[in-house]
Amino acid sequence: MNRASGQGVYDAAMNAAQQRQVAALADYRRLARLRCDNGYTSYIEVLDAERSLFEAQMAYTQQQDVVLTSLIAICKAMGAGSTRGVAVGRTPDGSCKAAVCQESPAREEGAVPKPRLQHRFTEPME
């Protein structure tokens, strides 16, 4: 296994772990609220649960920012520029979909080309 694929596996595992952490802390916040409402604990525990959840959500969001920024850099390195655009998204099953757009050629000899786009999809988009 090369370094790049190993890093991808690590990133996917980190993403899944952060998603599980956010879900667990959301449940913890819900339970802390229930315990506080029924008089078993103070409101400070609810605040602590909300703080912990917020920090986990921020970490997850920052990790997603790094992943998406890297994906944009890769697309630019592969030739996406001012005359070409790449739209990237995720399908419901989590796989990547991308549309590469290119300017169409002029229709008449000597005419100035209009910025019309032709779309070529690497995977079907919904």
Tell me how far CA of residue 121 lies from CA of 71, 79, 97, 100, 102, in angstroms: 17, 15, 8, 6, 11
Burial 6-15 (b: 16+ CB within 10 A, else e): eeeeeeeeee
CA distance 1 to 10: 13
Query: What is the pLDDT confidence band of residue 120, given thresholds at 50, 70 and 90?
Result: very low
- Does residue 27 sit in the same domain as residue 70? yes
Say yes or no to pLDDT of 36 above 60.
yes
Q: Does the pLDDT of residue 86 top 80, yes or no?
A: no
Residue 18, domain member (yes or no)? yes
Kindly state the average pLDDT of the residues 59-73.
Answer: 89
Q: Answer yes or no: pTM beyond 0.75.
A: no
* Residue numbers of the domain that contains 39: 3-77
pLDDT at residue 51 above 60? yes
Residue 29 has a CB neighbour count (10 Å cut-off) of 20
Q: Are residues 73 and 89 in the same domain?
A: no
**Structural domain count, the chain:** 2
Residue 97 maps to a domain: yes
- Residue 126: inside a domain: no
Task: Say yes or no: 7 and 47 in one domain.
Answer: yes
Give the range with max mean pLDDT: 14-18, 49-53, 91-95: 49-53
Q: Are residues 18 and 43 in the same domain?
A: yes
Pairwise pLDDT comparison (21 vs 103), residue with the higher score: 21
Residue 60 maps to a domain: yes
Average pLDDT, the chain: 75
Listed as own residue / partner, the contacts of 110-116 with beta carbons closer than 8 Å and 24 or more positions apart are none
pLDDT at 77 (0 to 100):
85
Whether 11 is covered by a domain: the verdict is: yes
Report pLDDT for 125: 46
